[in-house]
Amino acid sequence: MATNSSSSGGYELPWVEKYRPVKVAEVVGNQDAVSRLQVIARDGNMPNLILSGPPGTGKTSSILALAHELLGTNFKEAVLELNASDDRGIDVVRNKIKMFAQKKVTLSPGRHKIIVLDEADSMTTGAQQALRRTMEIYSNSTRFALACNTSSKIIEPIQSRCAIVRFSRLSDQEILGRLMIVVDAEKVPYVPEGLEAVIFTADGDMRQALNNLQATYSGFRFVNQENVFKVCDQPHPLHVKNMVRNVIDGKFEEACSGLKQLYDLGYSPTDIITTLFRIIKNYDMPEYLKLEFLKETGFAHMRICDGVGSLLQLCGLLAKLSRVRETAKAV
């Protein structure tokens, strides 16, 4: 895991790994989910678990921290971790997982071996069916923890055998708290706007926030707004904000030329519309207007995801937003 320290500013580990929580209590955010896991860590009575939620919210970290607290020194021999990058078809379930479930490990009373399946929603249905049987047969010696982005992609029989713990995106405040700890520990020079930019680009994803912070520090040795947006290569929010302001002020031509500038810089329509959505969401405007703007942006995003990502599509969105504004004004 160690990287070449000479070329990358003297760090050995990615900060995501270096500052990964060791205890469940150290996991940032999702207080309800974390407190449930803390009770399991304290009592030692672990059920099969499904942890579902967006990426970078602490699902895998929570499972590994829980396993460390439950198993202590036996962690290495009593935990099997399989990621989406591993082959996890039906053969792996029949062989690797089954063999691990059969393996005899001496643990203190009330403790079980733990099989962690990361990105479990990318497993084939056949593999999930085989997994269900394995969960049943070895239920007295082995517990399963499945991390996934959408729990609905896990087949019903497995869902009914597990306790589901839901994670949601982290708030800006929670991400800032952890960033400050890392910034102080690594002595990173920064300005407050720089950290704001890191939080904006992360959009509730702690992993993304730490990676963006580290990338900016490695590349520029200083965390400010400009450097962060250069590294993350996202449309600058101020530029997008000006576009929205022009639409609201009735300056359609200026809004379109601002959009064309972004498009000509090579930003993908998906990047532009995602930033636009987040700017509108936090923009200070009448509530009914904001809702209409968000609705139109959502429709345009859907069309872009279907592959119609042209400049015309984005200009059409601005035209629709202008029309919504005109209608609202008339009312």
pTM, two decimal places: 0.85
pLDDT at 192: 94
Q: What is the 3-state secondary structure (H, E, C) of 19-55?
A: CCCCCHHHCCCCHHHHHHHHHHHHHCCCCCEEEECCC
CA atoms within 13 A on the CB side of 91: 2
Q: Which distant-in-sequence residues (6+ apart) come within 8 Å of 200 by Cβ?
A: 237, 278
Q: Which distant-in-sequence residues (6+ apart) come within 8 Å of 312 by Cβ?
A: none
pLDDT in tens, 285-306: 999 999 999 999 999 999 999 9
d(CA 27, CA 35): 10
* Ordered per-residue pLDDT tens for the chain, 331 residues: 333 444 444 446 899 999 999 999 999 999 999 999 999 999 988 999 999 999 999 999 999 999 999 999 999 999 999 987 677 778 888 888 899 999 999 888 889 999 999 999 988 888 899 899 999 999 999 999 999 999 999 999 999 999 999 999 999 999 999 999 999 999 999 999 999 999 999 989 999 999 999 999 999 999 999 999 989 888 999 999 999 999 999 999 999 999 999 999 999 999 999 999 999 999 999 999 999 999 999 999 999 999 888 899 999 999 999 999 988 877 6
Q: What does the block give as tokens for 90?
A: 């039906």
Query: Could you tell me the domains of the chain?
Result: 30-166 (3.40.50.300), 172-232 (1.10.8.60), 237-330 (1.20.272.10)
d(CA 15, CA 212): 10
Q: What does the block give as tokens for 159?
A: 């869902």
